[in-house]
Amino acid sequence: METTIQQQRAQSGPGRAEPALAMEAVRKTFRTAQGPLEAVAGIDLRVGAGEIVAFLGPNGAGKTTSIDMMLGLAVPTSGRVSVFGKDPREAVAAGEVSAVLQTGGLLRDLTVRETVTAIAALHGAKDRVDAVMERTDISGLAKRKVSKCSGGEQQRLKFALALLPDPRLLVLDEPTAGMDVSARHAFWDTMRADALEGRTVLFATHYLEEAQDFAERTVLIGAGKVLADGPTAKLREMTGGRVVSATLPEGRPVAAAVAELELLERVASVRLSGRRVHVTGPDSDAAARLLLGPLGATDLEIAAPTLDAAFMELTGAAS
Ligand SMILES: Nc1ncnc2c1ncn2[C@@H]1O[C@H](COP(=O)(O)OP(=O)(O)OP(=O)(O)O)[C@@H](O)[C@H]1O
Protein backbone atom coordinates (compact mmCIF):
# COMPACT_ATOMS: atom_id res chain seq x y z
CA MET A 1 0.00 0.00 0.00
CA GLU A 2 2.92 2.30 0.79
CA THR A 3 4.25 1.88 -2.74
CA THR A 4 0.83 2.42 -4.21
CA ILE A 5 0.46 5.71 -2.41
CA GLN A 6 3.95 6.78 -3.42
CA GLN A 7 3.36 5.86 -7.04
CA GLN A 8 -0.05 7.47 -7.28
CA ARG A 9 1.10 10.63 -5.55
CA ALA A 10 4.20 10.89 -7.72
CA GLN A 11 1.86 10.96 -10.69
CA SER A 12 -0.92 13.14 -9.38
CA GLY A 13 0.36 14.93 -6.24
CA PRO A 14 0.95 18.63 -6.06
CA GLY A 15 4.36 20.18 -6.68
CA ARG A 16 6.87 19.54 -3.92
CA ALA A 17 8.80 22.78 -4.16
CA GLU A 18 6.80 24.84 -1.66
CA PRO A 19 7.49 23.77 1.92
CA ALA A 20 4.31 22.98 3.83
CA LEU A 21 6.29 23.11 7.05
CA ALA A 22 9.68 24.45 7.97
CA MET A 23 11.35 24.21 11.38
CA GLU A 24 14.72 25.90 11.72
CA ALA A 25 16.91 25.28 14.77
CA VAL A 26 13.80 25.03 16.94
CA ARG A 27 14.19 24.65 20.68
CA LYS A 28 11.60 24.60 23.44
CA THR A 29 12.56 24.70 27.09
CA PHE A 30 10.06 24.31 29.91
CA ARG A 31 10.67 25.59 33.41
CA THR A 32 10.04 22.81 35.89
CA ALA A 33 10.49 22.46 39.65
CA GLN A 34 13.62 20.41 38.89
CA GLY A 35 15.03 23.14 36.63
CA PRO A 36 14.84 23.81 32.88
CA LEU A 37 13.73 20.89 30.70
CA GLU A 38 14.63 21.02 27.02
CA ALA A 39 11.72 19.19 25.38
CA VAL A 40 12.86 20.14 21.86
CA ALA A 41 16.61 20.50 21.55
CA GLY A 42 17.28 21.90 18.09
CA ILE A 43 15.04 20.48 15.36
CA ASP A 44 15.50 21.29 11.67
CA LEU A 45 12.79 19.92 9.42
CA ARG A 46 11.36 20.73 6.00
CA VAL A 47 8.22 19.02 4.77
CA GLY A 48 7.30 19.52 1.12
CA ALA A 49 3.70 20.01 0.03
CA GLY A 50 2.06 16.65 -0.62
CA GLU A 51 4.40 14.59 1.59
CA ILE A 52 3.21 12.06 4.17
CA VAL A 53 5.56 12.11 7.12
CA ALA A 54 5.59 9.98 10.27
CA PHE A 55 6.97 11.60 13.38
CA LEU A 56 8.13 8.55 15.26
CA GLY A 57 9.50 8.39 18.75
CA PRO A 58 9.03 6.94 22.21
CA ASN A 59 7.24 8.63 25.14
CA GLY A 60 8.68 12.00 26.00
CA ALA A 61 10.66 12.33 22.73
CA GLY A 62 9.25 15.79 22.05
CA LYS A 63 6.60 14.94 19.43
CA THR A 64 3.66 16.72 21.05
CA THR A 65 5.74 19.78 21.92
CA SER A 66 6.90 20.01 18.29
CA ILE A 67 3.34 19.62 17.02
CA ASP A 68 2.10 22.31 19.41
CA MET A 69 4.65 24.66 17.86
CA MET A 70 3.57 23.71 14.31
CA LEU A 71 0.02 24.70 15.26
CA GLY A 72 0.95 27.91 17.07
CA LEU A 73 -0.22 26.45 20.40
CA ALA A 74 3.27 26.90 21.82
CA VAL A 75 5.99 29.36 20.90
CA PRO A 76 9.58 28.18 20.38
CA THR A 77 12.14 29.32 22.95
CA SER A 78 14.41 29.89 19.96
CA GLY A 79 14.36 29.11 16.25
CA ARG A 80 11.55 29.52 13.75
CA VAL A 81 8.51 27.52 12.62
CA SER A 82 6.54 28.37 9.48
CA VAL A 83 3.60 26.73 7.73
CA PHE A 84 3.28 27.48 4.00
CA GLY A 85 5.64 30.40 4.67
CA LYS A 86 3.38 31.87 7.37
CA ASP A 87 3.44 32.09 11.13
CA PRO A 88 1.61 28.93 12.32
CA ARG A 89 -1.17 30.95 13.98
CA GLU A 90 -1.88 32.77 10.72
CA ALA A 91 -1.91 29.46 8.85
CA VAL A 92 -4.42 28.02 11.38
CA ALA A 93 -6.61 31.12 11.11
CA ALA A 94 -6.55 30.81 7.31
CA GLY A 95 -7.67 27.16 7.58
CA GLU A 96 -4.48 25.98 5.88
CA VAL A 97 -3.49 23.67 8.71
CA SER A 98 -5.63 21.72 11.15
CA ALA A 99 -5.08 18.92 13.57
CA VAL A 100 -6.36 15.85 15.35
CA LEU A 101 -4.87 16.18 18.81
CA GLN A 102 -4.58 13.71 21.68
CA THR A 103 -6.38 15.81 24.21
CA GLY A 104 -9.89 17.09 24.74
CA GLY A 105 -11.87 19.36 22.53
CA LEU A 106 -15.24 17.59 22.23
CA LEU A 107 -18.45 18.62 24.00
CA ARG A 108 -19.96 15.48 25.46
CA ASP A 109 -23.60 16.57 25.39
CA LEU A 110 -23.77 17.40 21.69
CA THR A 111 -24.56 14.77 19.10
CA VAL A 112 -22.00 13.89 16.46
CA ARG A 113 -23.86 15.84 13.78
CA GLU A 114 -24.39 18.86 16.04
CA THR A 115 -20.66 18.89 16.73
CA VAL A 116 -19.72 18.80 13.07
CA THR A 117 -22.33 21.44 12.17
CA ALA A 118 -21.18 23.80 14.94
CA ILE A 119 -17.54 23.66 13.89
CA ALA A 120 -18.51 23.90 10.20
CA ALA A 121 -20.29 27.18 11.00
CA LEU A 122 -17.09 28.55 12.53
CA HIS A 123 -15.19 27.74 9.35
CA GLY A 124 -17.97 28.87 6.98
CA ALA A 125 -18.03 25.26 5.73
CA LYS A 126 -21.65 24.18 6.28
CA ASP A 127 -21.79 22.85 2.74
CA ARG A 128 -19.02 20.35 3.60
CA VAL A 129 -20.78 18.70 6.58
CA ASP A 130 -22.27 15.72 4.73
CA ALA A 131 -19.20 15.03 2.61
CA VAL A 132 -16.86 15.16 5.59
CA MET A 133 -19.11 12.90 7.71
CA GLU A 134 -19.30 10.46 4.84
CA ARG A 135 -15.54 10.53 4.30
CA THR A 136 -14.75 9.82 7.95
CA ASP A 137 -17.44 7.17 8.23
CA ILE A 138 -19.47 8.86 10.96
CA SER A 139 -22.75 9.43 9.06
CA GLY A 140 -24.21 6.40 10.84
CA LEU A 141 -23.41 7.99 14.21
CA ALA A 142 -25.04 11.37 13.38
CA LYS A 143 -27.60 11.29 16.22
CA ARG A 144 -25.36 9.70 18.85
CA LYS A 145 -24.24 11.82 21.79
CA VAL A 146 -20.46 12.33 21.88
CA SER A 147 -20.43 10.92 25.43
CA LYS A 148 -21.80 7.63 24.05
CA CYS A 149 -19.15 7.30 21.31
CA SER A 150 -16.22 4.94 21.75
CA GLY A 151 -12.66 6.23 21.79
CA GLY A 152 -12.20 5.24 18.15
CA GLU A 153 -15.47 6.93 17.13
CA GLN A 154 -14.44 10.11 18.92
CA GLN A 155 -11.12 10.05 17.05
CA ARG A 156 -13.04 9.75 13.75
CA LEU A 157 -15.19 12.71 14.80
CA LYS A 158 -12.06 14.74 15.56
CA PHE A 159 -10.73 13.75 12.15
CA ALA A 160 -13.97 15.02 10.57
CA LEU A 161 -13.64 18.35 12.40
CA ALA A 162 -10.04 18.67 11.22
CA LEU A 163 -11.12 18.15 7.60
CA LEU A 164 -13.85 20.83 7.67
CA PRO A 165 -11.59 23.76 6.68
CA ASP A 166 -10.17 21.59 3.86
CA PRO A 167 -6.63 22.15 5.19
CA ARG A 168 -3.55 21.80 2.99
CA LEU A 169 -1.62 20.40 5.97
CA LEU A 170 -3.14 17.94 8.40
CA VAL A 171 -1.30 17.23 11.65
CA LEU A 172 -2.29 14.15 13.63
CA ASP A 173 -0.97 13.49 17.13
CA GLU A 174 -1.24 9.76 17.81
CA PRO A 175 -4.48 9.58 15.85
CA THR A 176 -5.15 5.92 16.58
CA ALA A 177 -4.36 5.98 20.31
CA GLY A 178 -7.03 4.01 22.13
CA MET A 179 -8.35 2.29 18.98
CA ASP A 180 -8.47 -1.46 18.62
CA VAL A 181 -6.83 -3.14 15.64
CA SER A 182 -9.86 -3.06 13.34
CA ALA A 183 -10.67 0.57 14.16
CA ARG A 184 -7.03 1.41 13.50
CA HIS A 185 -7.16 -0.23 10.07
CA ALA A 186 -10.41 1.52 9.22
CA PHE A 187 -8.95 4.87 10.27
CA TRP A 188 -5.88 4.43 8.08
CA ASP A 189 -7.99 3.32 5.11
CA THR A 190 -9.91 6.59 5.33
CA MET A 191 -6.74 8.54 5.85
CA ARG A 192 -5.05 6.97 2.83
CA ALA A 193 -7.95 7.85 0.57
CA ASP A 194 -7.78 11.41 1.83
CA ALA A 195 -4.02 11.67 1.45
CA LEU A 196 -4.26 10.52 -2.13
CA GLU A 197 -6.04 13.75 -2.91
CA GLY A 198 -2.82 15.62 -2.26
CA ARG A 199 -3.04 16.84 1.31
CA THR A 200 0.23 17.06 3.27
CA VAL A 201 0.01 14.82 6.32
CA LEU A 202 2.30 14.70 9.34
CA PHE A 203 1.43 12.25 12.08
CA ALA A 204 3.04 11.41 15.40
CA THR A 205 3.12 7.79 16.42
CA HIS A 206 4.77 5.31 18.77
CA TYR A 207 4.22 2.51 16.28
CA LEU A 208 6.89 1.62 13.75
CA GLU A 209 4.26 -0.43 11.86
CA GLU A 210 2.08 2.64 11.42
CA ALA A 211 5.00 4.54 9.95
CA GLN A 212 5.80 1.59 7.70
CA ASP A 213 2.24 1.14 6.50
CA PHE A 214 1.45 4.72 5.81
CA ALA A 215 4.37 7.15 5.63
CA GLU A 216 6.74 7.62 2.72
CA ARG A 217 9.12 9.41 5.03
CA THR A 218 9.83 8.90 8.71
CA VAL A 219 11.44 11.37 11.06
CA LEU A 220 12.66 9.52 14.12
CA ILE A 221 12.97 11.72 17.16
CA GLY A 222 14.37 11.11 20.61
CA ALA A 223 15.33 13.44 23.46
CA GLY A 224 14.09 16.42 21.44
CA LYS A 225 16.36 15.80 18.45
CA VAL A 226 16.03 14.29 14.97
CA LEU A 227 17.87 10.96 15.10
CA ALA A 228 17.06 9.86 11.56
CA ASP A 229 15.09 11.31 8.68
CA GLY A 230 14.50 9.53 5.41
CA PRO A 231 12.39 7.07 3.45
CA THR A 232 10.56 4.77 5.85
CA ALA A 233 11.84 1.70 4.01
CA LYS A 234 15.44 2.87 4.57
CA LEU A 235 14.81 3.35 8.27
CA ARG A 236 13.68 -0.24 8.43
CA GLU A 237 16.90 -1.40 6.79
CA MET A 238 18.93 0.73 9.15
CA THR A 239 17.27 -0.94 12.08
CA GLY A 240 18.80 -4.24 11.07
CA GLY A 241 15.85 -6.14 9.64
CA ARG A 242 14.14 -8.79 11.72
CA VAL A 243 14.82 -10.25 15.13
CA VAL A 244 15.19 -14.04 15.29
CA SER A 245 14.84 -15.52 18.79
CA ALA A 246 15.35 -19.11 19.90
CA THR A 247 16.23 -21.16 22.97
CA LEU A 248 19.69 -22.76 22.95
CA PRO A 249 19.89 -26.37 24.14
CA GLU A 250 21.03 -27.29 27.67
CA GLY A 251 24.43 -28.91 28.01
CA ARG A 252 26.18 -26.89 25.32
CA PRO A 253 28.15 -23.69 25.96
CA VAL A 254 26.12 -20.65 24.93
CA ALA A 255 29.25 -18.56 24.29
CA ALA A 256 30.29 -20.84 21.40
CA ALA A 257 26.80 -20.56 19.88
CA VAL A 258 26.86 -16.79 20.19
CA ALA A 259 30.29 -16.67 18.54
CA GLU A 260 28.98 -18.75 15.61
CA LEU A 261 25.94 -16.48 15.21
CA GLU A 262 28.14 -13.40 15.27
CA LEU A 263 30.14 -14.83 12.37
CA LEU A 264 27.04 -14.82 10.12
CA GLU A 265 27.18 -12.20 7.42
CA ARG A 266 25.21 -8.98 8.01
CA VAL A 267 24.31 -9.76 11.63
CA ALA A 268 23.70 -6.51 13.48
CA SER A 269 23.60 -7.84 17.04
CA VAL A 270 23.38 -11.04 19.09
CA ARG A 271 21.87 -10.70 22.55
CA LEU A 272 21.42 -13.35 25.26
CA SER A 273 18.92 -13.57 28.10
CA GLY A 274 19.49 -16.85 29.91
CA ARG A 275 19.49 -19.50 27.17
CA ARG A 276 17.26 -17.38 24.92
CA VAL A 277 19.22 -15.77 22.11
CA HIS A 278 18.04 -12.82 19.97
CA VAL A 279 19.72 -12.23 16.63
CA THR A 280 19.05 -8.98 14.75
CA GLY A 281 19.94 -8.60 11.10
CA PRO A 282 18.58 -8.42 7.58
CA ASP A 283 19.21 -12.12 6.85
CA SER A 284 16.76 -13.80 9.21
CA ASP A 285 16.73 -17.00 7.10
CA ALA A 286 20.45 -17.63 7.65
CA ALA A 287 20.14 -17.07 11.40
CA ALA A 288 17.09 -19.36 11.57
CA ARG A 289 18.89 -22.13 9.62
CA LEU A 290 21.94 -22.01 11.87
CA LEU A 291 19.85 -21.96 15.04
CA LEU A 292 17.54 -24.83 14.12
CA GLY A 293 20.26 -26.88 12.39
CA PRO A 294 23.80 -27.04 13.80
CA LEU A 295 23.02 -25.19 17.04
CA GLY A 296 20.02 -27.40 17.91
CA ALA A 297 17.93 -24.47 19.19
CA THR A 298 14.16 -24.71 19.73
CA ASP A 299 11.10 -22.40 20.02
CA LEU A 300 12.17 -20.20 17.12
CA GLU A 301 10.37 -16.89 16.62
CA ILE A 302 10.90 -14.25 13.95
CA ALA A 303 9.64 -10.74 14.65
CA ALA A 304 9.62 -7.44 12.81
CA PRO A 305 11.80 -4.82 14.48
CA THR A 306 10.08 -2.92 17.24
CA LEU A 307 10.41 0.79 17.76
CA ASP A 308 12.51 0.01 20.82
CA ALA A 309 14.95 -2.02 18.72
CA ALA A 310 15.03 0.62 16.00
CA PHE A 311 15.55 3.31 18.55
CA MET A 312 18.38 1.46 20.27
CA GLU A 313 20.15 0.80 16.98
CA LEU A 314 19.89 4.44 15.95
CA THR A 315 20.77 6.01 19.28
CA GLY A 316 23.70 3.58 19.44
CA ALA A 317 24.72 4.62 15.93
CA ALA A 318 24.32 8.33 16.71
CA SER A 319 26.38 8.34 19.91
N1 LIG B 1 4.11 21.98 29.72
C2 LIG B 1 5.18 21.26 30.08
N3 LIG B 1 5.89 21.56 31.18
C4 LIG B 1 6.97 20.85 31.54
N5 LIG B 1 7.45 19.79 30.84
C6 LIG B 1 6.79 19.43 29.73
C7 LIG B 1 5.61 20.14 29.28
N8 LIG B 1 5.17 19.56 28.15
C9 LIG B 1 6.02 18.54 27.90
N10 LIG B 1 6.98 18.45 28.84
C11 LIG B 1 8.09 17.51 28.88
O12 LIG B 1 8.80 17.60 27.65
C13 LIG B 1 9.22 16.32 27.20
C14 LIG B 1 8.65 16.03 25.80
O15 LIG B 1 7.25 15.85 25.94
P16 LIG B 1 6.29 15.61 24.69
O17 LIG B 1 4.89 15.53 25.21
O18 LIG B 1 6.57 16.61 23.64
O19 LIG B 1 6.78 14.18 24.17
P20 LIG B 1 6.04 13.14 23.21
O21 LIG B 1 7.11 12.64 22.28
O22 LIG B 1 4.85 13.75 22.59
O23 LIG B 1 5.64 12.02 24.22
P24 LIG B 1 4.32 11.07 24.22
O25 LIG B 1 4.58 10.07 23.15
O26 LIG B 1 4.36 10.50 25.59
O27 LIG B 1 3.13 11.93 23.97
C28 LIG B 1 8.77 15.34 28.26
O29 LIG B 1 9.86 15.12 29.13
C30 LIG B 1 7.64 16.06 28.95
O31 LIG B 1 7.52 15.63 30.29
Mutation choice for ligand 1 from 28, 34, 63, CB with most ligand atoms inside 8 A: 63
User: Which residue has the least CA distance to atom 5 on ligand 1?
Assistant: 30
Q: What is the pTM of this model?
A: 0.76
Report d(CA 239, CA 308) in Å as an integer: 10
d(CA 38, ligand 1 centre) in Å:
9
Mutation choice for ligand 1 from 32, 38, 43, 64, CB with most ligand atoms inside 8 A: 64
ipTM: 0.97
- Give me the average pLDDT of each 10-residue run along the chain (319 residues): 43 56 97 94 93 88 94 95 95 90 81 94 90 91 93 87 92 84 80 78 86 87 90 71 90 92 87 91 89 95 72 55
Report d(CA 226, CA 318) in Å as an integer: 10
User: Which residue has the least CA distance to atom 26 on ligand 1?
Assistant: 59
Mutation choice for ligand 1 from 30, 69, 208, 227, CB with most ligand atoms inside 8 A: 30
Is 65 a pocket residue for ligand 1 (Cβ < 6 Å)? yes
d(CA 262, ligand 1 centre) in Å:
39
What is the 3-state secondary structure of 134-193? HHCCCHHHCCCEHHHCCHHHHHHHHHHHHHCCCCCEEEEECCCCCCCHHHHHHHHHHHHH
User: Which residue has the least CA distance to atom 1 on ligand 1?
Assistant: 30
SS3 assignment, position 95: coil
d(CA 61, ligand 1 centre) in Å:
7
pLDDT score at 318:
43
Residue 163, Cβ density class (10 Å: 0-12 exposed, 13-18 middle, ≥19 buried): buried
d(CA 177, ligand 1 centre) in Å:
16
d(CA 281, ligand 1 centre) in Å:
32
d(CA 64, ligand 1 centre) in Å:
7
User: Which residue has the least CA distance to atom 10 on ligand 1?
Assistant: 39
d(CA 69, ligand 1 centre) in Å:
13
pLDDT score at 191:
76
CB 80 within 8 A of CB 30: no
Is 61 a pocket residue for ligand 1 (Cβ < 6 Å)? yes
Is 249 a pocket residue for ligand 1 (Cβ < 6 Å)? no
pLDDT score at 235:
74
Report d(CA 110, CA 273) in Å as an integer: 53
pLDDT score at 3:
43
pLDDT score at 22:
96
User: Which residue has the least CA distance to atom 6 on ligand 1?
Assistant: 30
The DSSP letter of residue 127 is G
Is 28 a pocket residue for ligand 1 (Cβ < 6 Å)? no
d(CA 60, ligand 1 centre) in Å:
5
Helix segments in 22-174, DSSP class H: 63-70, 88-93, 112-123, 129-135, 151-163
d(CA 213, ligand 1 centre) in Å:
26
d(CA 65, ligand 1 centre) in Å:
6
pLDDT score at 306:
63
Residue-range domains of the chain with CATH: 2-237 (3.40.50.300), 242-303 (3.30.70.1510)
pLDDT score at 130:
95
